[in-house]
Amino acid sequence: MSFYVGLDVSTKETAICVVDEAGERVWAGTSRTDPDVIAAVLERRAPSVTKVGIETGPLTVWLWHALHERGVPIVCLHARHAAAALKLQMNKTDRNDALGLARLVRSGWYRPVAVRSIETHRLRALLITRDQLVGMRTALINKIRGLAKTFGIVIGPGKGGTFTRHVQAQLPDDPVLNSLFKTLLSILGTIQERSHEIAKQLARVARQNKICRLMMTTPGVGPITAISFVTTIEDPHRFRRSQDVGAYLGLTPRRYQSGEVDINGRISKCGDRLSRKLLFEAANAMLSRISLPLALKDWGAAIGRRSGFWKARVALARKSSVILHRM
């Protein structure tokens, strides 16, 4: 007999439910959230398990890889998609969620989520940390500017070392404010230093990767954008057509069609936010900073003249994602 299992994971305990081929509950219980313990429970309660379903979540990557290494036939389901099926149940409990996941993998009415490798997640951690540091740097610069204006100090344009020099040249005589601005500049310097260190580390990785080096030949695409795109896609064969990558990254418009109503809205903004943002920045650089004659730039500029340069940047970002996938 074939068994199907659902795992509803929380930090300390995991609810486990085993159903048979007819979808009837065979066993339900809890286990400590530990791959060895969960694998032992499955071996004892569902020795001929066909599929084990788990939702996306903070612990999913660790558990998926650990259970996969132990020979467990585990599949990952998108939490938002699984929630639509789990809402059919009257009561929301961990036990019922595990039962719903087990029945969902038994039915086959799901699209498995591709779980990235641990090495990819290491690079993604660097990318996300750098992005957060850049956001903190921008917020701190704006905070210093706003605070300085309160005391009649207007700081000139610039960022990085230029901004720091402007602030230092206009430090107030008030000892409290002087100490405060120096503290803020010290924190800003630390953030910038760590951000530059991570950027250099990512640049070294990009230079050692032949796919990233190829992508960096595209105008506007640097090492950060190349690594972000490679780690987001990871396996290009997941996509039947390169055109599908634009939709995967949320760069295609939403559509609502019912009867005589057919509305195309703004882009969906699904998928990876960081890759979408970096592709948009690459498109902006291609349109505004690169002076070389490029057919792709001319194509985007024609859209800009017809529909506005905001839409042109989005269209160019989508086109760039297709080209990078083909690479």
List pLDDT tens digits, range 182-203.
Answer: 999 999 999 999 999 999 999 9
The pLDDT of residue 118 is: 94
Compute the average pLDDT of residues 245-253: 93
CA distances from 144 to 133, 137, 188, 194 (A): 16, 11, 10, 20
Beta-carbon contacts of residue 289 (< 8 Å; ≥ 6 apart): 220
Contacts for 131 with CB less than 8 Å, ≥ 6 apart: 274
- pTM, two decimals, is 0.88
Instruction: Tell me the C-alpha distance between 322 and 242, whole Å.
Output: 5
Return phi, psi of residue 17, to 5°: -135, 135
Percent of the chain topping pLDDT 90? 81
Q: Which two tokens stand for residue 269?
A: 């903004």
Give the distance, in angstroms, between the CA of residue 179 and the centroid of all CA atoms in the same chain.
Answer: 39
Q: Cα separation of 290 and 35, whole Å?
A: 51
- Average pLDDT of the segment spanning 255-260: 84
Q: Is it the case that residue 280 has pLDDT exceeding 90?
A: yes
Instruction: Tell me how far CA of residue 28 lies from CA of 107, 115, 241, 292, in angstroms.
Output: 19, 26, 42, 65
- Would the pLDDT of 61 be above 90? yes
pLDDT value at position 115? 94
Q: How much is the average pLDDT of 202-214?
A: 96
Q: How far apart are CA 64 and CA 295, in angstroms?
A: 44
Which residue in this structure is represented by tokens 């859209």?
303
Binned at pLDDT 50, 70 and 90, residue 233 comes out as very high
DSSP string, 11-31: SSEEEEEEE-TTS-EEEEEEE
The first and second tokens of residue 245, run together, are 């990558």
Q: How would residue 304 be classed by pLDDT, with cut points 50, 70 and 90?
A: very high
Residue 38 clears pLDDT 90, i.e. is over it: yes
Residue 125 identity = A
Residue 113 DSSP symbol: P
* Contact predicate 46/31, CB 8 Å: no
pLDDT at 291 exceeding the cut of 90: no
> What are the pLDDT digits (tens) for 81-140?
898 888 888 888 999 999 999 999 999 988 899 999 999 999 999 999 999 999 999 999
Q: What average pLDDT does the segment 272-299 reach? A: 92
% residues pLDDT > 70 (the chain): 100
Confidence tier at 258 by pLDDT (50, 70, 90): confident
Neighbour tally for 323: CB within 10 Å: 14
Q: What pLDDT is stored for residue 22 in this prediction?
A: 92
Report residue 161's pLDDT band, with 50, 70 and 90 as the boundaries: confident
The pLDDT value recorded for residue 85 is 83
Check residue 9 and give its pLDDT: 96
Please give the mean pLDDT across all residues of the chain: 93
Residue 302, SS3? Answer: helix
Contact 239, 325 (CB under 8 A): yes
